[in-house]
Structure 1
């Protein structure tokens, strides 16, 4: 049963090994803020576009004490030909059994995927992804109906924002993450803001 998390919850701890082979535990990051992002799969064009946005802000966020942990519902063998090509400076986790997705209550929704296809803003995100070199493909064996989610976790391990996407293109606005990275916790309240209402990037 899917049990979503909320602001004020203690972020469920877990141990992981990134595709770089380095083992880490989420609680090892206490003392720093964390952006924990759940993506659809390693070949998803929209996911790769989002990773590109994170990479471009990583230096700034890291200096402000924010770490990024990115999870993909893909086997490790599928990471290399897709998202790994970006050489992200933060951990990328292959979670093909969706263990962490279940732990954080990240949903699967055919209805939301269909709504994404019908959304008038989807085309501009597809165009931006294409301009960045990310083609629309369907990763073999991937869960096509997985919906992304992002969590902002403070330096005490407490969730300050649990953002479950309403569409495939729905993520936390980057300016919300900027404020969180800067330590402005009081300004972190994304509600149900859908990124399709915000300009990409």
Structure 2
């Protein structure tokens, strides 16, 4: 894993293909803000819930000039089978070898996963949240169970304004921070 990125760093460029086989180049988003999210895997119920919440907010974010790009450490077939069923209006990118995860310093940590799962009542809370939203806790065979989420807010010039590395598998960038960034505040 490479070093973690920080506020003020230039966002590393990448060129990948999304769930629709469309080329996605970060540099093509110059002039627009970007929410770049690194999720655990495409079957992760918490990740699917977060994508669902992104979909609900996407139109407003897009009107404010912000794009969303979401990475999953999963094979493309699994991307279509799981999170791809949500028909996200933004790119979902399979990165099964974690190449871009490594470039952005997204972490793998068994200790953080275990710390999350050992929190009192967390497993029941997670089950309720995801099942109420219609998602199921499904293990994705061959996936990296120990991946920790990371999210980045990148400005119109390609500069990272917020680099958020989760402390637990349930830890994401607060929506208030994303909303302020999207609105230009």
Same fold (TM > 0.5) = yes
Per the alignment, residue 51 of structure 1 pairs with 51
Per the alignment, residue 160 of structure 1 pairs with 161
Q: Distance in 1 between matches of 2:73 and 2:130?
A: 20
Alignment of 1:3-14 (within 5 A): 3-14=3-14
The worse-fitting range, judged by mean Cα deviation, of 168-177 and 114-123 is: 114-123
Deviation at 1:134, TM superposition (A): 1.0
Q: Deviations over 1:172-195 (max 9, x none)?
A: 0111100000011xxxxxxxxxxx
Alignment of 1:25-174 (within 5 A): 25-120=25-120, 122=122, 123-174=124-175
Over 3 Å counting, the alpha-carbon distance change for 1:30 and 1:146 in structure 2 is same
> Unpaired segments of 5 or more residues in structure 2?
none
Q: How many pairs were matched up? A: 184
Q: Deviations over 1:54-107 (max 9, x none)?
A: 000001000000000000000001111100010000000000000000000001
Q: Distance in 2 between matches of 1:170 and 1:2?
A: 21
> Unpaired segments of 5 or more residues in structure 1?
185-201
Deviation at 1:21, TM superposition (A): 1.0
Q: Distance in 2 between matches of 1:43 and 1:115?
A: 21
Deviation at 1:121, TM superposition (A): 6.4
Over 3 Å counting, the alpha-carbon distance change for 1:114 and 1:164 in structure 2 is same
SS class of match (1:100): helix
Q: Is 1:35–1:150's contact at 8 Å kept on the other side of the alignment?
A: yes
Q: Deviations over 1:25-82 (max 9, x none)?
A: 1010000000000000000000000001100000100000000000000000111110
TM-score, structure 2 length as denominator? Answer: 0.97
Q: Is 1:2–1:107's contact at 8 Å kept on the other side of the alignment?
A: no
SS class of match (1:80): helix
Deviation at 1:24, TM superposition (A): 2.2
- The higher relative CO (CA closer than 8 Å, separation ≥ 6) is in 2
Alignment root-mean-square deviation, CA: 1.0
TM-score, structure 1 length as denominator? Answer: 0.89
